[in-house]
Structure 1
Amino acid sequence: MFVGYVKTSCPEDKLLITELNKQECHFTWNMNKKDTNITDHLIKLEDNLDLRLGDKAGTARTHNSVAYVKYLLGSNEEALTNLKKSVELTKDFYGDNCDEKLIVTYGNFAWLHFYMKQYAECKSYLEKLKEIKEKNTAVSTSALHPQVLGEKAWALFKFSRKYYSRAQECFKKALELEPEDGEWNAGYAIVLYRTETKCVSPQDSSALKQLRWAIETNPDNDELKLLLALKLAEFKLFDEAEDLVERALEMSPDSPHVIRYVGKYQRNYGSVDRSISLFKRALDVSPNSAFIHHQLALCYKQKKEKFREQPECQRFRHLSISHFEKATTLTSGFIIAMTQLAILYGEDGQIDRAEEVFQTALFAAKEKTEGVQELYLYYGEFLQYRKRNQHLAIKYYKDCLKMAPVSRDGKKSAKNLKKIANKRLSYNTNDTRALGILEFIKQVTGKKQFTAEGCEHLLESTSS
């Protein structure tokens, strides 16, 4: 649902609508309700407020976003309350002469009063915005004001993963105007960290470079230090990474964000038992965090894999299942967690429950992209090995391979397809289904075409 840029055939409203459509605020930033799970988004925003994460300026921005979500959910009075709180915090942080910092908030007020048919109040806020722009030529074009660009970037970034590229561009433009601003540098670093694909070396990583600079402009931001540590660990630069982890935990031992990132680091590169301990601490503070339940589930899954015998293997599997269940309950459409939960149900012999979760994840995949390729791979393996449905498994392996042939999941799907083809060709070298599979792999990956005559060599080269 996009609520900005209203049109009307009523002449007396046209001037008002024209002015509203010029404003830079949540109502005109094309943040579509269908691009996010609006309830989950609200829970995350309100969790940030409850945990008092960030300074008053950041909290003011969060209240702005909450106000917009409340409007989308039809709670206009609650939306107004959040906008008033945003003004209060902004003035408390910057002082009374901070109108430039309130451009977005006043725009939101104007739009909200318009939708509530409170036209006098709407016009009042539009007049305030006009006065701000007349007093300061630097904000005459608010779309190019760094404060507006920065707030827009944060709003887009938090609203939907689909808007990460737009958020990145806004942060970049804000930094062109204010290169040393700590908030915009931090935001730009975080969005680069979230979007950067695997790099060959540290020198190729834009996220690593930006994280270092963001820490220079935010020396007390321990979350940035941990993101840098995780990025360094990708390149096996463990000495510097572990130093950052220890420093961050020492400086912010009770911060939920710090604890969860330290826990993630320990799970990936250190002690899984230490990670479990940290995530349990974080859960005491944020019992309804899908992220923490997901991380704990992964920890217990990792513990499970170290035990091949009952009852320890079964105990850790059930602990992992319980936290995956909680994560998927707290965040609908959590495809990555649903996929892992379904796999564990399958291992536990709960085939019908596994199938049900896979179907829920496949339905969610119609609206999302994150985790979908992994879902196709593991559903294909579930079909092949648990349900003995090779025909349908081939379909999902192909869907997985088409999404990204050179990714880990794409390569695994290609390998699974080749194994199926090889087995069929071992019985009949002219099996048209098998040859079709090999031709499909060739077309998608661009590798050498295989014919019936060349299949014997293929069988030897792909049998591993």
Structure 2
Amino acid sequence: MSSHQCTVLRTKLTQLECHFTWDLRKEDTDLTDLLNRLQDQTELDLGGQEGAARTHSFLGFVKFLLDSNNEALSNFQRSVEVVKELHGNKCGQLLLVSYGNLAWLHYHMDNYVESESYLNKLEEIKEKYPPDSSSVLDANLLGEKGWTFLKFYRKYYDRAEECFRKALELEPEQGEWNSGLAIVLYRTETESVSSTESPTIKQLRRAIETNPDDNVVKVLLALRLCFHKEYSEAESLVETALERTSDHPHVIRYVAKYFQQKGSVDRSTALLRRALEKVPNSAFIHHQLALCYKKTKIYLQRASSHHSKDAAIKQARKQCIYHLERATELKPSFTLAMNELALQYGENQDLSKAEEMFKLARQTVEKRNENLQMFHKFYAVFQQYSMKCEPLAIEHYTKCLKLNSKTYEGKESAKHLTKIAERRIRKNSQDGDAFGILGLVHKEQGDRQRAQEYYEKALGYVHNDEYLSNLCELQLAVE
């Protein structure tokens, strides 16, 4: 093929809708974790027959990113086979993404004739559909894109939401797209609005209405209702989901999370262990198990001070650390698990390993430009309780609070700073820096009047340029 023909071919390829043209950058995701999740889906048939084609297509693209072109080809071809097995001659519109992937893969493998043959197949499919049916084609492509963005990485959630919304504008009753949008909103909603006003809860209900067999969204709704302390409906949803899919690991893991939130740690642990037997390479399940053992450890620490409990506490911490280590091995970018693991190392007085893990966590969050606030909160707790270094604890609680006072991490940092300041004032009523801390907390929370009062008290005992600057800023804002 001449260079001109090659250029023409590539131009045609760039106009396709498939994984190769959706701007999926491998540096944005954790390929190890993504590969594990997709392989679990294919091996356990978690997406059902309809989802199998999508999973194979996505898995093929991941294999391509990992330079395994032959495995990529096998998965793309399997995706086509599954669609044809399910829909026979009426499957044309469902093959657009798979054929697009195959055209691109053959191009990368220098099989230009094969690449062109798939471009011709795509043209034949489009010619079979009249112009007024383009909305069906567009809805399917948007839905496929939505699921891809949702599974690829959290940075792509906004793009996933946009795709699902556009797909639902074309096909509002489509159950899969409603479920996809519900899951995106569940993972991204941060505002603590009431259950009747929550867009997430409204969409979860809509997803159940249009896709009544989706038991995952039922449990997600139960989790959100549990957050709002609406336990009766939540319990009913959980029991229904368990009755209908008691062996589905995705359902089990969310049910386990529900019981963990309600305080039924033993039941949650048992369910997660059951799920782990089916998906041993799930970083999510290992992380949830670690949190169960952490809660067990905390309960034992509070329940008794007798030495007879020491062995049980050590065992719970050991299990917690083991599952966190597995989670971070399976998903090297799992910064929440990394921070939690570092904290557990600190509790175990393995301070060098703790510092090393925190260093790795910070490098990861800075590289990905996400979860920096979470890092500061965890590191502050580590400095306060394991290292007994209050100045560094205050420094990192402050950094966390300044990043966003409305998030869970921001609110927790405000609580810690307030407790530190109030304890210091009880010991010394003229501790200007303690009043300065309270001034900062109220300033970040938007309470200007109280912030001014505390900064004025602070400046009555210490000279501090930052306190003075903050006070002037608050006074000017009022004027």
Deviation at 1:82, TM superposition (A): 0.6
Report the equivalent of 1:376.
Answer: 376
Question: What's the TM-score once normalised by structure 1's chain length?
Answer: 0.89
How far apart in 1 are the matches of 2:144 and 2:440?
46
Report 1:5-20 matches (<5 A).
Answer: 10-20=3-13
Q: Secondary structure at the match of 2:213?
A: coil
Report the equivalent of 1:345.
Answer: 345
Report 1:287-306 matches (<5 A).
Answer: 287-306=280-299
The one-letter amino acid paired with 1:382 is F
> Which sits farther off after the overlay, 433-442 or 84-93?
433-442
> Which residue, out of 22, 37, 41, partners 1:44?
37
Report the equivalent of 1:220.
Answer: 213
- Alpha-carbon RMSD: 2.7
Deviation at 1:101, TM superposition (A): 0.7
The one-letter amino acid paired with 2:332 is S
Q: In structure 2, do the counterparts of structure 1 residues 420 and 228 end up closer, same or farther at CA, with 3 Å as the change threshold?
A: closer
Residue ranges of structure 2 left out of the alignment (5+ in a row): 463-479
1:234 paired to 2:257: no
Q: Secondary structure at the match of 1:361?
A: helix
Report the equivalent of 2:110.
Answer: 117
Aligned pair count?
450
Report the equivalent of 2:331.
Answer: 331
Residue ranges of structure 1 left out of the alignment (5+ in a row): 1-8, 460-464
Q: In structure 2, do the counterparts of structure 1 residues 284 and 458 end up closer, same or farther at CA, with 3 Å as the change threshold?
A: farther
| 8 Å contact kept, 1:266–1:272 | yes
Deviation at 1:418, TM superposition (A): 5.0
| 8 Å contact kept, 1:24–1:142 | no
Q: In structure 2, do the counterparts of structure 1 residues 45 and 142 end up closer, same or farther at CA, with 3 Å as the change threshold?
A: farther
Report the equivalent of 1:131.
Answer: 124
Report the equivalent of 1:454.
Answer: 457
Deviation at 1:107, TM superposition (A): 0.9
**CA deviation vs aligned residue, 1:372-413 (integer Å, no higher than 9, x gap):** 423211201222343244443343223211221122321332
Report the equivalent of 2:473.
Answer: none
Report the equivalent of 2:69.
Answer: 76
The one-letter amino acid paired with 1:203 is T
Deviation at 1:427, TM superposition (A): 6.2
Q: Secondary structure at the match of 1:77?
A: helix
Report the equivalent of 1:266.
Answer: 259
Report the equivalent of 2:247.
Answer: 254
Deviation at 1:139, TM superposition (A): 8.3
Question: What's the TM-score once normalised by structure 2's chain length?
Answer: 0.87
**CA deviation vs aligned residue, 1:38-79 (integer Å, no higher than 9, x gap):** 122111111111111122221100111111111111111111
Report the equivalent of 1:462.
Answer: none
| 8 Å contact kept, 2:425–2:431 | no
Deviation at 1:415, TM superposition (A): 4.1
Report the equivalent of 2:99.
Answer: 106
Name the structure where helix makes up a greater proportion of residues: 2
How far apart in 2 are the matches of 1:359 and 1:33?
23
Q: In structure 2, do the counterparts of structure 1 residues 229 and 453 end up closer, same or farther at CA, with 3 Å as the change threshold?
A: closer
Report 1:65-214 matches (<5 A).
Answer: 65-138=58-131, 145-214=138-207
The one-letter amino acid paired with 2:206 is W
How far apart in 2 are the matches of 1:404 and 1:319?
33
> Which sits farther off after the overlay, 313-322 or 362-371?
362-371
Q: In structure 2, do the counterparts of structure 1 residues 223 and 356 end up closer, same or farther at CA, with 3 Å as the change threshold?
A: same
Deviation at 1:270, TM superposition (A): 4.8
- Percent identical pairs in the alignment equals 49
| 8 Å contact kept, 2:436–2:458 | no
Report the equivalent of 2:363.
Answer: 363
